[in-house]
Amino acid sequence: MAKRQNYKRPHFYSIASMMTDEEVHQVWEIVGNALDRNGFKDADGELSIRVYDETLKKNVINVIDKSLEVKK
């Protein structure tokens, strides 16, 4: 498992907004299995995945996945 680093700047990418529905579903399956395995049956919540980057000057939130755009 990757070691969590403490950055001086608290800016992040909101990864969930960059994921397709299929990718979100896959992550939820993994999270749900981990919760069940640890005794948290039928847990409900909101998926939030952040990647902190000390080079960012502001948070990157609500990115529209370019691969989902309708081609002209």
* Average pLDDT by stretches of 10, the chain with 72 residues: 62 86 92 90 80 87 65 60
pLDDT for the residue numbered 6: 61
Cα angle at 27 between 25 and 31, to 5 degrees? 115
Residue 57's domain spans which residues? 12-66
- The pLDDT of residue 30: 93
Flag whether 4 is in a domain.
Answer: no
Task: Say what the pLDDT of residue 2 is.
Answer: 61
Q: Is residue 22 part of a domain?
A: yes
* CA terminus-to-terminus distance, the chain: 42
Inside any domain, residue 72: no
How high is the pLDDT of residue 48? 84
Residue 50 lies in a domain: yes
**What pTM was estimated for this model as a whole?**
0.62
Assigned domain for 71 exists: no
> What's the number of domains the chain is made of?
1
